Structure 1
Amino acid sequence: MKAEFTAIIEPAPEGGFWAVCTEVPGANGQGETVEEAKVDLIAAVKLLLEDRLSALPK
Structure 2
Amino acid sequence: MKTRQFTIIVHQEDDLYIAQCPEVGTVDQGETIEAAIAGLKEATRLYLEEFPLPEKAPPLITSMEVNYA
RMSD of aligned alpha carbons: 1.2
Runs of at least 4 residues of structure 1 off by over 6 A?
none
**Can you list the C-alpha shifts for 1:9-55, whole angstroms capped at 9, x where unaligned?**
0001x312001101102x111000000000000011001100114xx
Letter in 2 for 1:36: A
In the alignment, what sits opposite 1:47? 46
Q: State how many pairs are aligned.
A: 51
Larger proportion of helix: 1
Which of structures 1 and 2 has the bigger CA Rg? 2
In the alignment, what sits opposite 1:8? 9
Which fold has the larger relative contact order, with Cα–Cα distance below 8 Å and residues 6 or more apart in sequence? 1
Q: Which segments of 5 or more consecutive residues in structure 2 lack a partner in the other structure?
A: 53-69
Rounded Cα–Cα distance in structure 2 between residues aligned with 1:49 and 1:33: 24
